[in-house]
A and B are shown apart, each in its own frame.
Chain A
Amino acid sequence: DVVMTQSPLSLPVTLGQPASISCRSSQSLVYSDGNTYLNWFQQRPGQSPRRLIYQVSNRDSGVPDRFSGSGSGTDFTLKISRVEAEDVGVYYCMQGTHWPWTFGQGTKVEIK
Chain B
Amino acid sequence: EVQLVESGGGLVQPGGSLRLSCAASGFTFSDYYMSWVRQAPGEGLEWVANINPEGTEDYCVDSVKGRFTASRDNAKNSLFLQMNSLRADDTAVYYCARSAYGSAVNPWGQGTLVTVSS
Seen from chain A, the residues whose Cβ lies within 8 Å of a Cβ on chain B are: 1, 31, 35, 37, 39, 41, 43, 48-51, 54-55, 60-61, 90, 92, 94-97, 99-106
Contacts and interface: CB of A to CB of B under 8 A. Distances in A.
B45 A41 contact: yes
The A interface, classified by DSSP as helix, strand, loop or mixed, is: loop
Interface stretch (B16-24, B70-78, B80-88, B101-109): B101-109
A92 B109 CA distance: 17
B27 interface: no
A78 to B, nearest CB: 14
B68 interface: no
A96 B102 contact: yes
Contact of B46 (A60, A95, A103): A103
A103 B106 contact: no
17 contacts: A41-B45, A41-B104, A43-B45, A50-B107, A50-B108, A54-B101, A55-B101, A60-B106, A92-B44, A92-B45, A94-B104, A96-B103, A100-B62, A101-B47, A102-B47, A103-B45, A103-B47
A100 B45 contact: no
Interface size class of B (residues with CB under 8 A): 20 to 34
Main secondary structure of the interface of B (DSSP, over half): loop
B105 A94 contact: no
B45 A48 contact: no
Contacts of A99: 50, 59
Given A48-B111, A50-B108, A103 B44 contact: yes
Interface in B36-65: 37, 44-47, 50, 59, 61-62
